[in-house]
Amino acid sequence: MTLSKVIFKDLGLIDYKECWDYQTKLFENTVQQKIHNRKNLENKVETKNYLIFCEHPHVYTLGKSGSENNLLINSNELENNEASFYKINRGGDITYHGPGQLVVYPIFDLDHFFTDIHKYLRFLEEAVILTLQEYGIISERVDGLTGVWIEGGTKNARKICAIGVKSSRWVTMHGIGFNINSNLKYFNYIVPCGINDKAVTSIKKELGKEINMNELKQKLKINLANIFNYDYQ
């Protein structure tokens, strides 16, 4: 069986809106290609899959089901903290992205893999869980909540990775925010993911040392490929 192919792009530190526009273009092109293929069965063009790694300057994003009340600072305070704010078209509530956090945007056509959005979310979580294991950190899922947690079932529960996605015609966009060397003070200005009784953490905080981001990217990149069973082209 031939494995699906994924095009990998590391965009480094990139403005949130610029990257949003970029992934939206890839997403919309893929959706339109699928619509074209269904109308032109004899001239089908294989859709492409993309995996984007990046970091963003300080930014808060609010999903479709979120409440602006979960942003705890006003526009002046946003400016003072050199942060921006966007309402976006993914699921979920409010989250933060910033330097030291690895943001991962898979633009996958799930017809190449499996057409099950819940399974897709669990696979993303599993890739993060396996990557954390390589740093000696035990993490888990919490029933009823997306993302990856440490000591999830206890009063010390803390979130290390947030997940929010959008899909149309089984094409995905948006993805995960994985706290590696994040400045966690920025989470104090929101109710992360609308959950007000659980803390946020990072690998740096858990281990008490700065993490080599390039090494971590390579580990996560491999774990994603193994879990979804694809090759990079």
Q: What is the pLDDT of residues 165-211, one digit of tens each?
A: 999 999 999 999 999 999 999 999 988 665 666 789 999 999 999 99
Domains in the chain: ranges and CATH? 4-228 (3.30.930.10)
pLDDT given at position 193: 60
Across 39-53, 69-83, 211-225, the highest mean pLDDT is recorded for 211-225
Cα–Cα distance, 156 to 147 (Å, whole number):
16
pTM assigned to the model: 0.93
pLDDT at 194: 56
CA distances from residue 207 to 71, 83, 92, 200 in whole angstroms, order as listed: 29, 27, 28, 14
The pLDDT value given to residue 43: 86
Query: pLDDT value at position 67?
Result: 87
Each residue of 152-161: b (16+ CB within 10 Å) or e? Answer: beeeebbbbb
Average pLDDT over residues 207-229: 98
Active site residues: 193
